Amino acid sequence: MKAFVKKDTCIGCGACTVIANNIFEIGDDGLAEAIAPYSNEELKEREIPEEEKENVIDAAESCPVGAIEVEQ
């Protein structure tokens, strides 16, 4: 599974950073992003760890504006 935050869509509500706190955080711009080593650019290429997949799916489904893209 791969996932990333669409910065142009995120409104910075913070929900994903609570649900998948090992993957997402609020950046200096007030918008969500993947934490290192899963920076937004790198996360497009990296596999989500098995133990984080459910949290990432929950975060994507909970995002009020659909800013988290998940590829199975």
**Residues engaged in binding ligand SF4 (CB under 6 A):** 5, 10-16, 32, 63-65, 67-68
In the complex, what is the shortest distance from the CB of residue 60 to ligand SF4, in angstroms, rounded to a whole number?
Answer: 8
In the complex, what is the shortest distance from the CB of residue 25 to ligand SF4, in angstroms, rounded to a whole number?
Answer: 9
Tell me the three state secondary structure of residue 29.
coil
Q: For residue 24, which of 44, 5, 46 has the smallest C-alpha distance? A: 5
Distances, alpha carbon 53 to alpha carbons 28, 50, 56, in Å: 25, 5, 5
H/E run at residue 55: helix 53-62
Residue nearer to ligand SF4 on the CB measure, 47 or 65: 65
Residue nearer to ligand SF4 on the CB measure, 1 or 13: 13
Residue nearer to ligand SF4 on the CB measure, 46 or 70: 70
